[in-house]
Amino acid sequence: MTDPEDLAERVREGDLRIHELEEHADYDTAAHARRLLIERETGTELEAIGDYAFPAEEADPNIENMIGAAQVPMGVVGPVPVAGGAADGEHYLPLATTEGALLASVNRGLGVIREAGGADARVTKNGMTRAPVFRVAGVAEAAETVAWVEDNLEALRAAAESTTSHGELLDIEPYVVGDSVYLRFAYDTKDAMGMNMATIATGEACELVESETPASLVALSGNLCSDKKPAAINAVEGRGRSVTADALIPGELVEERLHTTADAIAEANTRKNLIGSAKAGSLGFNAHAANVVGAAFLATGQDEAQVVEAANTITTMDAREREDGTTDLYASVSLASLEVGTVGGGTKLPTQAEALEILGLRGGGDPPGSNADALAEIIAVGALAGELSLLGALSSRHLASAHEDLGR
């Protein structure tokens, strides 16, 4: 067996490069050698980082130059009561975070939703996008290119789908800006989040566009996709899965469990999430949806950078008066671009795979796409619970005391 001490010394002497270690040893030994190197170079003890619970080889598709693992505390909330298009019944939702009080707050909201009879949730739109940008001589060539694309959608679909056994091309939306032509491809990627699938498929289709039109490909991604950046196009058109969850909370339950009223929560939502967000120029109109989305992404192996757009949420809270004069609370969240999958990427790592097992959603669904739809619906209900709890705390003025108790 190769000695990690020897490998580390060879890297220090310049005989080996740090990314070449797997060529000379197994993956765990290579990771050990890198830790030794970093310890000596920085004077830092890496005992916790090196204490990981899975073979390093299993992470090879997910990371380069591995030295160990980041261990983020993981808990569960729930059960999450959801009647969805794909999810049904009660599910425990794993969340990984370092923010004290978060899971307690979400659990409080879920308790209220559960007592109210549960939440409904639906994926309303599905389409992973990739938008290449082409160069043309001017607007005449741009119009020619767009016309060809619109007339040859089936040929482009055949080219794109030749690269995948699962993905389906749904649509191509053209955008022209001067001598630039952007084509926003949208795919049904089934149970995969599908970014790589969409990229490879779009690359194949772009070759056909170049061969049949005056357009010349400049970049396979022209940022109209738009991936890992806050973008209005994702808020309006959606990306990945667009999902909405809602619940009707009886007024007496709001008072008993949240110690406030439906009217007070509705007003707090309007002044904070709607007017305040508009004044700030925010793309999201919510209290803290990113908290639940980000924690669920870390726990279940999603691409954490996509929280930027995946947490783009509009929260609504309306006071609804019953015939007997009691006021109930209608609560909803609409997440425009929740990019999730249950196969591929980080979902294959042992910790994240176990978290998906907790949900009963590991791997591909039957029918294809149903597991990822269910994951999106459950996360949306979790986000709804988080919004309900935080707005209740704000309108009852309990936020600071909760953080003092749980988030020190």
> What is residue 160's DSSP assignment?
H
Distances (CA, A) of 348 to 163, 362, 371: 22, 9, 15
**Count of positions (residues) in the chain:** 408
Q: How far is Cα 389 from Cα 391, in angstroms, rounded to an integer?
A: 6
Phi and psi, residue 243, nearest 5°: -140, 140
188 is catalytic: no
Pairing of strands 327-338, 240-249: antiparallel
Closest-CA residue to 245 (of 378, 107, 368): 378
Ramachandran sector of residue 54 (left: φ over 0; alpha: ψ -120 to 50; beta: rest): beta
328 is catalytic: no
Burial of 236 (0-12, 13-18, 19+ CB in 10 A): exposed
Q: How far is Cα 196 from Cα 304, in angstroms, rounded to an integer?
A: 15
Q: How far is Cα 286 from Cα 270, in angstroms, rounded to an integer?
A: 10
Residue 231 CA to chain centroid, in angstroms?
Answer: 15
What are the residues facing 244 on neighbouring strands? 122, 334
Closest-CA residue to 230 (of 280, 159, 274, 275): 280
Set 24, 259, 398, 403: catalytic member: 403
CA dihedral for 220, 222, 223, 224, sign (positive or negative): negative
For 14, other C-beta atoms within 10 Å of its C-beta total 7
Task: Tell me the two tokens of residue 96.
Answer: 């990984």
**Residue 402 contacts by C-beta under 8 Å, 6 or more apart in sequence?**
101, 104, 105, 393
Residue 240 CA to chain centroid, in angstroms?
Answer: 9
Set 99, 161, 304, 318: catalytic member: 99
Set 57, 303, 304, 354: catalytic member: 303
403 is catalytic: yes
Q: How far is Cα 381 from Cα 243, in angstroms, rounded to an integer?
A: 10
Residues with catalytic roles: 99, 303, 403
